[in-house]
């Protein structure tokens, strides 16, 4: 990819202060894009921007605060982004969490479901006008964990039998169902929507508040790939021709891949869409 392959393009990446998001932000800034880091912690985002500018001194970077666990915070972030970029070429919904224990957000939702699905749903729907103006791209970072996930329609907030992988796998299944439902709705606006499995990446989504969480996380990292390798497909979809043509698809290692059969359930995708509208108040 040439050094000016993304010149004139505007890219928003959530959770761009570390891991896959930071690697993607660095690469796309190096290609000439204006990259906006949407992150929860200003200090971490500013540190990431300093690192990116060390690699690319002329990088065009900006920060907007975003807490995906708060619907009001997501709405305010979307408002700021619409003001900053009436034309948005690429939105990368990258940020995510995996909570060892059940927590709830300020809105009363289970935190993994809220952060990994409801927040990105609301942010994306709110930014559709800017994406439409640029015939832009939406890239949702999902996971092959969706293969062991299922939609717990009678208990989406997992009040009963909470388990970290149960919550995480459900949220990643949501990412794929959301991708498919959104792709259909914005096809007439020439917005392309795809999702991806980055691989089993060593990132900061695994919490380390307690000693047993830290021990689990450190053992897990022995089997994980680097953020640089994990970010390749995100960068590919954001900057390459495929990301501007394919829509409603699932990718891995820069190639289209078939997700699990239950992730292709259009009835479930529509049910999730309607429920997400109800819970967030966001409508296209």
CATH code at position 96: 3.40.50.720
Query: Alpha-carbon distance 239 to 27, whole Å?
Result: 10
What crossing angle do the helices spanning 71-84 and 119-134 adopt, rounded to 10°? 10
Query: Alpha-carbon distance 47 to 277, whole Å?
Result: 35
pLDDT tens digits, one per residue of 255-281: 999 999 999 999 999 999 999 999 999
Quick one: pLDDT at residue 216?
45
Active site positions, annotated: 168
Q: In the structure, what pLDDT confidence band is assigned to residue 182 with cuts at 50, 70 and 90?
A: very high
Quick one: pLDDT at residue 202?
54
Q: Is residue 4 part of a domain?
A: no
Least confident of 32-41, 45-54, 153-162, 208-217: 208-217
Residue owning tokens 């606006």 = 189
Segment holding 172, helix H or strand E: helix 164-185
Quick one: pLDDT at residue 215?
45
Q: Is residue 44 part of a domain?
A: yes
Q: Is residue 283 part of a domain?
A: no
Quick one: pLDDT at residue 199?
82
Q: Is residue 1 part of a domain?
A: no
Quick one: pLDDT at residue 227?
76
pLDDT tens digits, one per residue of 89-133: 999 999 999 999 999 999 999 999 999 999 999 999 999 999 999
Domain span including residue 64: 10-278
Give the CA count within 13 Å in the CB-facing half-sphere of 25: 33
Query: Alpha-carbon distance 157 to 47, whole Å?
Result: 34
Strand, helix or coil at 104? strand
Quick one: pLDDT at residue 224?
59
Residue from 184, 90, 87 nearest 137 by CA:
90
Residue with more model confidence, 154 or 202: 154
Quick one: pLDDT at residue 201?
54
Q: Is the pLDDT of residue 160 over 50?
A: yes
Q: What is the DSSP letter of 225?
A: B
C-alpha separations of 211 from 97, 163, 166, 224 in Å: 18, 18, 22, 20
Quick one: pLDDT at residue 213?
44
Q: Is residue 197 part of a domain?
A: yes
Q: In the structure, what pLDDT confidence band is assigned to residue 228 with cuts at 50, 70 and 90?
A: confident
Q: Is residue 231 part of a domain?
A: yes
Distance of CA 152 to the CA centre of its chain: 21
Mean pLDDT of the chain: 92
Q: In the structure, what pLDDT confidence band is assigned to residue 243 with cuts at 50, 70 and 90?
A: very high
Q: Is residue 38 part of a domain?
A: yes
Q: Is residue 68 part of a domain?
A: yes
Q: Render the burial of 165-187: b for 16+ CB within 10 Å, e for the rest.
A: ebbbbbbbbbbbbbbbbbbeebe
Q: How many domains would you assign to the chain?
A: 1
């Amino acid at each position: 990819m040439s050094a000016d392959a993304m010149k004139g393009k505007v890219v928003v990446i959530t959770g761009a202060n570390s891991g896959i998001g930071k690697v993607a932000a660095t690469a796309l800034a190096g290609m000439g894009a204006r990259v906006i880091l949407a992150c929860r912690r200003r200090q971490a985002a500013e540190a990431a921007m300093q690192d990116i500018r060390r690699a690319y001194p002329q990088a065009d970077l900006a920060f907007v605060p975003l807490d995906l666990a708060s619907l009001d915070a997501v709405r305010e972030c979307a408002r700021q982004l619409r003001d900053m970029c009436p034309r948005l070429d690429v939105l990368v919904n990258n940020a995510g969490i995996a909570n060892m224990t059940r927590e709830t957000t300020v809105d009363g939702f289970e935190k993994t479901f809220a952060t990994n699905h409801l927040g990105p749903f609301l942010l994306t729907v709110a930014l559709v006008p800017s994406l439409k103006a640029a015939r832009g791209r939406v890239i949702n970072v999902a996971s092959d964990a969706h293969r062991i996930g299922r939609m717990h329609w009678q208990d989406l907030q997992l009040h009963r039998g909470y388990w970290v992988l149960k919550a995480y796998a459900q949220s990643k299944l949501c990412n794929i169902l959301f991708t498919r439902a959104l792709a259909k709705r914005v096809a007439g606006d020439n917005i392309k929507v795809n999702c991806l499995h980055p691989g089993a990446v060593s990132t900061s989504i695994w919490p380390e508040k307690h000693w047993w969480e830290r021990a689990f996380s450190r053992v897990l990292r022995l089997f994980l790939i680097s953020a640089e390798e994990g970010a390749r497909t995100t960068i590919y979809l954001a900057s390459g021709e495929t990301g501007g043509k394919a829509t409603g698809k699932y990718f891995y290692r820069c190639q289209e891949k078939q997700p699990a059969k239950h992730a292709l359930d259009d009835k479930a995708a529509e049910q999730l869409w309607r429920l997400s509208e109800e819970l967030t108040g966001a409508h296209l």
